């Protein structure tokens, strides 16, 4: 069976020195570097492949320090602190330049935890939206943006503006998403979907300006069993901008499965020009 392109893109090979080797995938390319979501998935995969892992991902912060070049990269993964039921990981992705120098492209921290049954509830119920089958799929293409073809995206509200007319609007987007072709949901897949929202400043201003994520934080609320049960169902994503100022904006978002379970919450701060 041919592996899913997502699995090829996040594949890592453990080296004798404890680092892990991977390579960027043309399938998830985004103009000047890999799609940020796939890099987040690689970080999660690196921690989950580590022999010392305890538990499952709870929190991820990834800092996009520099664009990754097409080609191989190395993941340095360190369990900085291991407690009884939580573990604190530090991850760095580096590449070797043509001059033989080490180029740090990404820093990240991941908290893993053993989950147990407790009081469970949500203060962000899934909004009332039409079912995925009742929302038109948008096959969006853009020059140099390969990753879009690997997602089934069904915008419900707050889609990319059709007219770049500078009309200020609310920055809320809601959309159904899943891998294309479908792929059973897991932590790397969910990490990647957490970055799937186009820049809020485009929606807020209806002006298309260069923008790039600087740092993203994802909190995972569902355990691996709940992700497995979500299988290849669609995931509802919602994101809204908060502050826009001094060349940066932030967004806050949530992801639910079709059954209405809150899978993850996601936040990011994004550079924008103009």
- Nearest distance in Å: CB 219, its own copies: 4
57, 205, 235, 238: which one binds its own copies (CB under 8 A): 205
The answer to whether residue 271 forms part of the interface with its own copies (CB under 8 A) is yes
List the one residue out of 100, 103, 106, 35 whose CA is nearest residue 77: 106
Q: Write down the least CB distance from residue 11 to its own copies, Å.
A: 25
Q: Binding string to its own copies for residues 99 to 138, with x set by CB under 8 A, is what?
A: -----x--x-x-x-x-xxxxxxxxxx--------------
Q: Is 91 in the site for its own copies (CB under 8 A)?
A: no
Nearer to its own copies, 90 or 160 (CB): 90
- Give min distance, CB of 43 to its own copies, in A: 13
Q: Cβ of residue 123: shortest distance to its own copies, in angstroms?
A: 5
Single out the residue of 83, 97, 141, 163 in contact with its own copies (rule: CB under 8 A). Answer: 83
C-alpha–C-alpha distance, residues 133 and 164, integer Å: 29
Backbone angles phi, psi at 131, to 5 degrees: -65, 155
Contact region with its own copies (CB under 8 A), list: 8-16, 26-34, 81-89, 175-183: 81-89
Rounded least distance, CB 72 to its own copies, Å: 19
Q: Is 19 in the site for its own copies (CB under 8 A)?
A: no
Q: How far apart are CA 176 and CA 77, in angstroms?
A: 33
List the one residue from 145, 215, 229, 233 that touches its own copies (CB under 8 A). Answer: 215
Cis peptide before 77 (omega within 30 of 0): no
Q: For 14-18, which contacts have Cβ atoms below 8 Å and span 24 or more sequence positions?
A: 14/49, 14/51, 15/74, 18/77
Decide if 220 contacts 255 (C-beta within 8 A). Answer: no
DSSP structure class, residue 16: T
- Whether 203 and 169 have beta carbons less than 8 Å apart is answered as yes
- With binding defined as CB under 8 A, does residue 236 bind its own copies? no
- CA 73 vs. chain centroid, Å, equals 19
The span from the CA of 67 to the CA of 32, in Å, is 7
> Per rule CB under 8 A, is residue 243 in the interface with its own copies?
yes
Q: Which is nearer to its own copies, 148 or 193 (CB)?
A: 193
- Contact between 247 and its own copies (CB under 8 A)? yes
Q: Take residue 203 and report the two structure tokens written for it.
A: 């929606």
CB of 140 to its own copies, least distance (A): 24
Residue 86: phi, psi to the nearest 5? -130, 155
Backbone angles phi, psi at 255, to 5 degrees: -130, 130
Contact (CB, 8 A) for 119 and 139: no
Sites of contact with its own copies (CB under 8 A): 58-59, 61, 63, 65-66, 80-81, 83, 86, 88, 90, 92, 104, 107, 109, 111, 113, 115-124, 168, 170-172, 200-201, 204-205, 207, 214-215, 217, 219, 221-223, 240-248, 250, 252, 254, 262, 265, 267, 269, 271-274
């Amino acid at each position: 069976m041919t592996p899913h392109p997502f699995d090829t893109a996040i594949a890592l090979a453990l080296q004798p020195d404890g680092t892990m080797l991977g390579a960027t995938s043309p399938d998830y390319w985004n103009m000047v570097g890999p799609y940020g979501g796939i890099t987040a998935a690689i970080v999660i995969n690196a921690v989950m492949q580590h022999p010392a892992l305890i538990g499952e991902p709870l929190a991820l912060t990834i800092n996009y320090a520099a664009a990754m070049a097409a080609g191989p990269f190395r993941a340095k993964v360190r369990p900085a602190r291991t407690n009884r039921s939580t573990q604190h990981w530090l991850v760095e992705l580096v590449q070797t330049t043509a001059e033989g120098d080490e180029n740090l492209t990404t820093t990240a921290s991941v908290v893993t935890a053993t989950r147990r049954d407790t009081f469970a509830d949500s203060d962000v119920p899934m909004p009332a939206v039409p079912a995925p089958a009742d929302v038109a799929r948008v096959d969006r293409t853009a020059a140099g943006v390969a990753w879009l073809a690997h997602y089934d995206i069904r915008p419900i509200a707050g889609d990319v503006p059709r007219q770049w007319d500078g009309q200020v609007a609310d920055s809320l987007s809601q959309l159904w998403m899943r891998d294309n072709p479908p792929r059973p949901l897991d932590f790397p897949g969910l990490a990647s979907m957490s970055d799937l929202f186009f820049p809020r400043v485009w929606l807020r201003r209806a002006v298309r300006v260069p923008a790039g994520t600087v740092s993203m934080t994802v909190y995972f609320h569902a355990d691996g069993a709940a992700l497995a049960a979500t299988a290849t169902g669609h995931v509802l994503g919602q994101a809204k901008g908060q502050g826009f100022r001094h060349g940066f904006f932030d967004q806050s978002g949530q992801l639910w499965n079709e059954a209405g379970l809150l899978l993850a919450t996601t936040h990011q701060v994004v550079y924008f020009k103009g």
